[in-house]
């Protein structure tokens, strides 16, 4: 009895000392179509029969015992959803309810069943969350949204080591990338190995590859809309991802509880510091490239969100990041430095006028610049290119019921371009590269988009965007005499208008529901693009420059049609689609020479040529979102061509990123609560490239005679990546996960670039040519340790 008493005392003490395990359940409920918060939605926690109602912010929170729960989220006019979650393992939950277009047909949307694929009018929109991205094998253990979207149908990258991505045969510059509604111009670090987006800071990613609604524009092809998370307004959290070549740190928490929250994140690579000292232990002998070179990049993200009132929210987002590369070879007196980076500020004010209407305002500032300097002995060259933007966007959304949504608004951008400012000195001569030219322009649009469910089968979304553009002074325009010399200079004053363009951009989306589990969707959009990214080399580089439309450079335009059959199989477990598309592009731009060749008083305009583009194909996509095993398969069969009078004798030729076949297979499997594994496989047809077919000798040099433009194919690109993550610790206050990943598991040498090496001596009548392929990534294992403190 004494022992029993003692035991009870200890147990009691234990209970007192370690209070009951409580967890916070909090999150928000949104309309899936409009992304607006839903006030008054009900969250019902089944095991404990507890109900909650969302506030004007669409958010809810409560404190519960840590356990697995089943919760139901419902709201009048929307499909009910049921989710099973382990609240000890989650911090904040977002639910997106789907408007219920089948009246009185209450289909229970559970974790196992989603009809979004069938019902959504957003035809070519794909959504990813930071969790989706984390689940996949990550390059060097760093989850990356841009690398993940390249696995989706219709999206491809040019190759390893190429920044940017191509959507349905469009150029990398045809994508608008937004961070909290503000454009960012270069999404890549270290030539696309990493994107600039730190996955910790991301709440939601939406990729619109077709059927772009009228409230988006300014680019021909796609929108990558990245919404950063609002920070935790209840408690502090921190997580660190420690990797072999880079680490990042993320901290979030309230400044004023429930009112003012923040997140701050930083990432830096330490290739130089870690790898260089070790190189000598692996490579003996001669000094290598690494003895002379230095490289690192960093990112910094910061966000403040203030809940002014239950209907007013203000947030400030900041991103800055740079890549810095330098190469110094003392024996050749050679120095080279390349730096590029983005700098973005976004101030968003969201005002809920009522539970049926909403106003959002964004003021943004965004810059991108690169700076290249090279010197050898007494020759120096410096090339600077930059773009600076100030943006404003206002959007009013009214949704009297879930079947009708009206969006109205306008946006405005002020651009300041400095496309290719070059200073060069050779020996004592100072080369005259023309004035360092700055170009100013204004771009704006008014837009309206109306989504209407005509009946339970047919839903339409009709939009119009009226866009306008002005190139304004100050600007010096030259006229030339017959000899090509400058005859006269016309100086335009500040704000005087040199050229105006205005266009209407209609947008049509239709969805016809065939059966409960299938629908047809059709979209037809017209887009104009007034700022242009021009590529200087055979591969996409940070040195690609942004240029504005001017009198001589017309805006690019594009028409995009797509028709798809969307169907769910296996009781909605497999969301599938077959989508056909056709796209034509006008006033496409190419540089004739590189940007450095273009050093004259004429401005860059005389170095560019104009042509047309076309892309067509079909895509198959099937995705499983639920259960222990999730993933998708996507296949695209497409053709992408270009035609320019000055290239390939004016005949049509394949674009360099033309891919006949593009397959992705993504799988992830949760073995148990602690261990999960994932893999992704990609196969694409090889890049198109131009090869020399013949050669000759002129002036004592071997000269290549080229075949038709892009008539040759590089070998196909394929790669398998795998990863496994193992939860080392899981405590109430902290947890840690170890992830192992292997990039390019079977060590495929994928082609990055092919070049030719000529050896021998012309005058000895002895010459040989060998083709050499450069590949970027061999098999590449990595290990990361992710620690989260709650």
Partner 1 sequence: MNLNNRHIKLFIGLIFIVFLSCEREIDLEIPQHESIIIVEGWIEQGRYPEVLLSLSAPYFGSIDSISIMDYSLTGAKVTISTDDDSEILTLTRNTKYFPPYVYEGRRMTGELNKEYHIEVIYRGDTITSSTTIPEVHELDSVWFGSVEDNDTLGLLYFQLTDNAEEKNYYRTLVKRMGKDERFIPTRTSVYDDQYFNGRTITLSLARGISSVLDTDTDSYYEVGDTVWIKFASIDKATFEFWNTYQNEIITSANPFSATNARIQSNIKNGFGIWYGSGVNIYSLIIR
Q: Does 14 bind partner 1 (CB under 8 A)?
A: no
Confirm if 206 and 180 have CB atoms less than 8 A apart. Answer: no
- By CB under 8 A, residue 591 contacts partner 1: yes
Touching partner 1, residues 107-146 (CB under 8 A): 140
Does 204 bind partner 1 (CB under 8 A)? Our answer is: no
Residues 642 to 671 in contact with partner 1, rule: CB under 8 A: 646-647, 656
Helix, coil or strand: residue 523: strand
State which H helix or E strand residue 689 sits in: strand 688-689
User: Count of alpha carbons within 13 Å of 457, Cβ hemisphere only?
Assistant: 4
Q: How far is the CB of 266 from partner 1 (least distance, A)?
A: 21
Question: Measured from the CB atom, is 576 or 723 closer to partner 1?
Answer: 723
Nearest CB to partner 1, comparing residues 331 and 768: 768
Cα separation of 641 and 646, whole Å? Answer: 15
Handedness of CA 124, 576, 128, 31 (dihedral sign): positive
Q: Is 281 in the site for partner 1 (CB under 8 A)?
A: yes
Residues found in the chain: 790
Interface residue with partner 1 among 168, 752, 784, 786 (CB under 8 A) is 752
Give the CA diameter of the chain.
Answer: 115
Residue 556 C-beta: closest distance to partner 1, Å: 18
Select from 51, 506, 703, 731 the one that contacts partner 1 (CB under 8 A): 703
**Residue 481 and residue 700: Cα distance in Å, rounded?**
37
Q: Could you tell me how many helices (H) and strands (E) the chain has, helices first?
A: 5, 51
**Are the CB atoms for 32 and 96 separated by under 8 Å?**
yes
Of 37 and 751, nearer to partner 1 (C-beta) is 751
Of positions 503, 707, 718, 787, contacts partner 1 by CB under 8 A: 707
List C-alpha distances in Å: 91 to 25, 30, 197, 788, 790: 7, 17, 21, 11, 9
Site for partner 1 in 718-747 (CB under 8 A): 738
C-beta closer to partner 1: residue 35 or 600: 600
Binding of residue 259 to partner 1 (CB under 8 A):
no
- Number of chain residues interacting with partner 1 (CB under 8 A): 100
Burial of 482 (0-12, 13-18, 19+ CB in 10 A): exposed
- State the nearest-atom distance from the C-beta of 382 to partner 1, in Å: 17
Restricted to residues 467-486, the positions that interact with partner 1 (CB under 8 A) are: 482-486
> Which residue of 201, 472, 572, 690 would you call a contact of partner 1, by CB under 8 A?
690
Q: Does 765 bind partner 1 (CB under 8 A)?
A: yes
Separation between Cα atoms, residue 638 and residue 722, nearest integer Å:
28
Q: Which 3 state secondary structure label does DSSP give 172?
A: helix
Q: Which of 672, 700, 733, 746 binds partner 1 (CB under 8 A)?
A: 700
Instruction: State the minimum distance, in angstroms, from the CB of residue 682 to partner 1.
Output: 18
In the list 16, 286, 479, 701, the residue contacting partner 1 (rule: CB under 8 A) is 701
**Residue 141 corresponds to which tokens in the numbers above?**
């253990």
Query: Is residue 553 a contact partner of residue 529, using CB atoms and an 8 Å limit?
Result: no
Picking from 739, 666, 778, 573, the residue whose alpha carbon sits closest to that of residue 152 is 666
x/- mask, partner 1, residues 537-556, rule CB under 8 A, reads xxx-x-x-------------
Q: Exposed, middle or buried: residue 72 (CB in 10 Å: 0-12, 13-18, 19+)?
A: middle
286 binds partner 1 (CB under 8 A): no
Minimum distance of partner 1 from residue 333's CB (angstroms)? 11
- Residue 76 touches partner 1, criterion: CB under 8 A: no
Among the listed residues 489, 597, 629, 732, the single contact to partner 1 using CB under 8 A:
597
Residue 274 makes contact with partner 1 by CB under 8 A: yes
Query: Judged by CB under 8 A, does residue 207 bind partner 1?
Result: no
User: What three-state secondary structure class fits 209?
Assistant: coil
CB of 90 or CB of 775, closer to partner 1: 775
Closer residue to partner 1, CB minimum distance, 254 or 692 = 692
User: For strand 93-97 and strand 22-31, is the pairing parallel, antiparallel, or unpaired?
Assistant: parallel
């Amino acid at each position: 009895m004494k022992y029993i008493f003692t035991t009870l005392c200890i147990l009691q003490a234990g209970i007192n000392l370690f209070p009951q395990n409580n967890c916070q359940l909090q999150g928000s409920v949104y309309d899936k179509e409009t992304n607006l918060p839903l006030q008054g939605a009900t969250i019902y926690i089944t095991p404990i029969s507890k109900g909650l109602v969302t506030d004007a912010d669409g958010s809810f929170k409560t404190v519960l015992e840590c356990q697995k729960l089943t919760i139901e989220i419902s709201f009048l006019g929307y499909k009910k959803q049921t989710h099973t979650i382990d609240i000890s393992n989650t911090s904040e939950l977002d639910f997106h309810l789907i408007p219920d277009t089948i009246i009185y047909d209450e289909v229970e949307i559970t974790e196992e069943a989603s009809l979004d694929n069938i019902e959504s009018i957003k035809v070519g929109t794909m959504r990813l969350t930071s969790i989706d991205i984390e689940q996949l094998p990550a390059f060097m253990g760093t989850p990356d949204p841009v690398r993940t979207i390249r696995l989706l149908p219709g999206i491809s990258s040019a190759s390893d080591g190429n920044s940017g991505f191509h959507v349905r045969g469009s150029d990398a510059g045809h994508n608008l990338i937004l961070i909290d509604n503000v454009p960012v111009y270069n999404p890549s670090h270290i030539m696309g190995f990493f994107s600039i987006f730190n996955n910790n800071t991301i709440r939601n990613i939406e990729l619109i590859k077709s059927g772009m609604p009228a409230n988006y524009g300014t680019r021909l092809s796609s929108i990558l809309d990245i919404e950063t998370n609002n920070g935790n307004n209840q408690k502090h959290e921190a997580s660190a991802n420690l990797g072999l070549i880079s680490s990042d740190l993320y901290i979030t928490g309230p400044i004023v509880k429930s009112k003012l929250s923040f997140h701050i994140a930083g990432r830096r690579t330490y290739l130089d510091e870690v790898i260089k000292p070790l190189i000598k232990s692996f490579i003996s002998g001669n000094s290598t490239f690494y003895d002379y070179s230095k490289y690192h990049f960093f990112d910094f993200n910061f966000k403040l969100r203030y809940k002014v009132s239950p209907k007013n929210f203000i947030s400030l987002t900041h991103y800055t990041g740079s890549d810095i590369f330098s190469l110094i070879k003392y024996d050749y007196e050679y120095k080279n430095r390349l730096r590029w980076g983005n700098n973005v500020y976004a101030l968003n004010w969201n005002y809920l006028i009522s539970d049926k209407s909403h106003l959002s305002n964004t003021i943004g500032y965004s810059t991108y610049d690169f700076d290249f300097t090279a010197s050898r002995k007494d020759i120096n060259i410096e090339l600077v290119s930059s773009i600076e933007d100030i943006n404003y966007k206002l959007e009013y959304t009214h949704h009297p019921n879930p079947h009708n949504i009206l969006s109205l608004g306008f946006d405005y951008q002020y651009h300041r371009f400095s496309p290719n400012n070059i200073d060069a000195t050779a020996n004592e001569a100072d080369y005259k590269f023309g004035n360092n030219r700055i170009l100013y322009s204004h771009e704006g649009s008014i837009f309206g988009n109306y989504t209407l469910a005509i009946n339970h089968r047919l839903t339409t979304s009709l939009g119009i965007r009226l866009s306008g553009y002005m190139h304004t002074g100050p600007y010096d325009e030259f006229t030339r005499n017959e000899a090509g010399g400058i005859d006269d200079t016309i100086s335009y004053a500040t704000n005087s208008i040199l050229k105006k363009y205005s266009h209407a951009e209609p947008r049509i989306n239709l969805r016809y529901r065939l059966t409960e589990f299938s629908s047809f969707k059709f979209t037809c959009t017209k887009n104009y693009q007034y700022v242009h990214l021009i590529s200087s080399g055979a591969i996409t580089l940070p040195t690609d420059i942004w240029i504005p439309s001017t009198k001589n450079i017309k805006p690019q335009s594009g028409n995009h049609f797509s028709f798809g059959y969307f169907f769910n199989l296996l009781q909605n477990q497999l969301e599938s689609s077959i989508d056909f598309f056709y796209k034509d592009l006008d006033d496409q731009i190419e540089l004739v020479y590189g940007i450095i060749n273009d050093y004259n008083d004429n401005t860059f305009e005389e170095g560019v040529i104009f042509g047309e583009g076309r892309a067509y194909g079909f895509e198959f996509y099937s995705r499983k979102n639920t259960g222990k095993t999730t993933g998708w398969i996507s296949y695209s069969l497409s053709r992408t061509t270009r035609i320019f009078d000055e290239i390939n004798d004016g005949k049509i030729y394949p674009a360099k990123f033309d891919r006949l076949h593009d397959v992705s297979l993504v799988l992830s499997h949760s073995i148990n609560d602690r261990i999960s594994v994932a893999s992704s496989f990609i196969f694409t047809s090889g890049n198109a490239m131009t090869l020399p077919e013949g050669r000759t000798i002129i002036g004592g040099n071997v000269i290549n005679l080229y075949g038709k433009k892009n008539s040759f194919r590089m070998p196909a690109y394929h790669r398998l990546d795998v990863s496994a993550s193992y939860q080392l610790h899981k405590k109430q206050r902290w947890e840690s996960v170890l992830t192992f990943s292997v990039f390019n598991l079977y060590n495929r040498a994928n082609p990055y670039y092919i070049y030719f090496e000529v050896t021998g001596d012309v005058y000895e009548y002895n010459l040989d040519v060998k083709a050499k392929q450069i590949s970027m990534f061999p098999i590449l294992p990595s290990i990361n340790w992710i620690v989260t403190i709650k």
